[in-house]
Structure 1
Amino acid sequence: MAPALRSFASTDRFIAEISSPASPSIRAGYVLIGDEIFLYDRCRRAVLSTLVPEGARDFALHDLDLAETSIFEALDRAQTPSLMAPFQVLFLRNLKTLYGRGSKKEEFAAIEAYFRSPNPQALLLFVADHIRIPTDLRRMDYQDKERFERIRETLGDWCGTVELARVDENDAIRWVTDTAESRGVRFDPDAARELVDSLGADMMLISSEFEKLLLYVSAPASNGVILTLSEQSESKGENLSSLPGAPHQSPAEPLARNRVTLGDVETMVLAAKQRSLYELTDAISAKDRPRALALLHGLLNASDGGEDAAIGHLYMLARTFRQMLIILEKNVRDSRAIWQALWQGFRMPPFAAEDLIRQARRYKSRRELTRALRLVARADLELRSSPANKLLVLERLILDLATEPKPSAYEPSHQFAMEL
C-alpha cells in the first residue's frame, strides 16, 4: 500500500473522525482553516455523504454567512433539534467577521456556552478561508500566522482544526498518478509532472484538467493511431465476423488508449502550451538569440496550425510584453503584489508570475518594452499583408526582440501601430 500523502493528512484525519454520527472521535465543531478550495471541497463532500442523507439536505444542511447571519442566530439553530432530520450540519462562512473591530466578548461567550453543552445531533463547521497556508509553514505570511494563532486560541479548546494548506507539488503528482490508476488509466510520470507544473500545483485546476484528460484518453479513438477490434483480430489471423455473437457486417468500435502521455497534456491543457511562450519571452529578455529561435520553432511545430497560428502567437507575445510593462511601471517585486497590479482577465497563470517578474526586471526602462510592442505590431501588420514567408517574418521579429536596441539620437514616440 502506498504511503499517505502528507498534504492530505489533515483532511484525511478529519474524514476519518466524521465517519459516522455516532463515532466517538467526532467533535461538536471544526474550523476549516485555509484557502485551498480543492481540500475544502473534499471535506465538504465527505461531510455530506456521511452525515447528510441525499433526501434530507433541505432540512439537515445549513450554509450560513456570518456577515449576514449573527453567530447568536447560528448557535440557536444548531441547538434546536430538527423535526425533519435526525442530524444537522451547519457551514458558517466568513469567520473573519468574528475577528474584526471590537472585542466580540458576547459572541465568544455565546460560543463557549454552546460548546460546554452542544447538541449531539449537530455539527458546526467554521470556514476560515481568508487565511492562506503555504506548503512550507515557515513561509507563512506574518499576518496570516497571527490570524491562525488567534483562531486556535479562541476556538481551539472546543473545535478540531483542519488545515487546508496548499498541496505540495510532489503530492499533487502522486495524486494524479494514483487517482488515474484507481480508475484504470495509466498517467505517465512526465505527463503528471507537466500537468502539475503548468498549473502551478493549483489542485482545483489540476483536478479539472485531469478529468478532461481522462475523458480524452478513455473515449474511442478515431485518429487511426489505436487499432480497432477488427485490426487486432486480423493481426492475429482471426475473422471478427466469425466470432460467436458478432453482429453481421457491423463496424468495430475503436479501443481507447487508457493512457495519458506528455503529448496529451501539451495538446489538451492550455497552460502547458503557454509554458513554451513564457520560455520564449525568457530567452528574448535574456537576449539569448539561439535559444529564442529554437523555442520559436518548437512553438510552431507544437501548434495545430503551424505557421497559420502565427497571429495568435503574436497576440500572446504582445499581451505578455504589456504585462511586463505594467509590472515594471508599478515596480512589482513579488507574486502576491502582481494580482493587485494586473486586473481580472489580464493576469497570467500562477506558475508564470515569478518568471514574468524576473523577465520584466531585465528591461532597464519603459522605452525598451514599448519598442518590443512596436516590433510585434509591425510583424502583425506584415503577417496580415499575406507575406511570401510567414516563418521569415516571425524569425526576424524574434531576432529583433532578442537584440539590444541601438542608441538613437532622437526620442522615439511611445505610440505604436495597433493595440493588441
Structure 2
Amino acid sequence: MPRAHVLLSESIHESADDAFARADIDVHRTSAGLAGDELIAALRDIPGDEPVLLGVRSKTKVRAPVIDAVPRLVGVGAFCIGTDQIDLARARAAGVAVFNAPFSNTRSVAELIIAEIVMLSRQICMRSWAAHEGAWLKNAKGAHEVRGKKLGIIGYGHIGSQLSVLAEALGLRVSYYDIVNKLPLGNAGVVEDLDTLLAESDFVTLHVPDTEQTRLMIGPEQIAKLKPGAYLINASRGSVVDLDALAAAIDSGHVAGAAIDVFPKEPKAAGDRFESPLQGKRSVILTPHIGGSTQEAQANIGREVSEALAGYMTSGRTIGCITLPALDGAEIRGGCRLVNIHKNVPGVLSRVNNVVAEVGVNITGQHLVTDGGNGLLLMDIDVPRDDARASALREGIARLDQSLRTRLLG
C-alpha cells in the first residue's frame, strides 16, 4: 500500500517522480489541463483510500467545488510560480496544503528578458522579418547598444532582482519600483513612484503578481507617461497591461516596441487560435507564455514542488506552504507523528491534550504554530502508527469541532 497518491497534470517534468518514489507516493499522470467535473472524476478514480495530492501547472483549475468534492485531497502543488489557478481561500479554509515554485524558473525568465532587451534595441525581429521576405536592411538606423541605457523594473522580487544583476553585467543602468521595501542588489536604484520610473526608463519590464492592484496597472495613462521611444516588456501576468492602449502607442510612435509573453486571453489548447491587437507589428516580440519554459527550469520546478509535497506527506513539513502555517517537521524517530490542521481558535491544544490523556499515550514531541485562520499541530507519540491507541488518538482528535484534517505519519 502506498503512503499516498499524486495526480500530475499538464506533462509535469519527470524529475518530480524521484521525490515521490522516495516517499512511497504513487504517481498518476494526465497530459491534459483539467477543471470542474473532469478534474473531480480524475481524482475520484484514483484507487484506494490513501490521501491524494494534485500537481498542476497553469491550465488545471482547482476551484472550490473540486476541493469540496474530494475529501481525500490533502495537498496541491503548483509546478510554476503563479497560483491564480487555485482557490487559495477555499484551500486554506479546508486545510489543504498548497505549494508552488517561487524560485525554480527565475533564471529562465530573467534570461528571456535580457534576450528581448537586446533584440528590441537592435531591431532583430524587424530585420529578420525583412530578410525572410527578401529585403536587406543592412543599416544602423534605429539600432542601439544596450550599454548605458536605463532599465526600469516594476516588481523587485525573485525574478526582478536576478534580472537586475544580469542587466548590470551588460552595462545597463537599473532602477526599480516595488510597493514593498526591497534591498537593492548591485548598483540598482530605488524609484519612489511608478510615474518616475516610466518617464526615465529606456526599457520597462514588469514582474508583478495578478492582484486587484496590478490589473491594468499599465493602462493608457501610464503608457502616455513612458519615455518617448521606450520599450515595454511583460512576462508577468496578462492582466497587467492594456494591450489595446499599447498597440495604439506603438502605432503612434510614442512606444518604440514591446515584448509580450503573457496575455489576457491565451489559447487553452495547442490547436486553438491566438489573437492579439499586437499581431502584425514588426517592432513587437510575441511569445506563447514561455518565460519559464526551459528544460532546466521545468526540471528544477519538478524537483522543488515534489520535494515540498513529499516532505509534507512524510513529516508534516510546511516550509514554503501558501495556505498553512510554516513548520519544519523533523525526522520521525520512533513511534509515530500526528498531524492536525485546525481552526485557529482558543483552547484547541487543551482539548487535544485531553484526548491524549483519555487514549493513554505519551507525547515525545509537540509543535504548534498558528497563522491567520489555521493552526498546525505536529505531535509525536511513543506508539507505532499501527497501534490501536494511535488510531484512537487520530479519530478522537479528528472528531473535535475545530479539526479540519488529521492524519498519522510513521
Normalised by the length of structure 1, the TM-score is 0.32
Q: Higher Cα Rg: structure 1 or 2?
A: 1
Q: In proportion to residue count, which structure has more helix?
A: 1
Q: In proportion to residue count, which structure has more strand?
A: 2
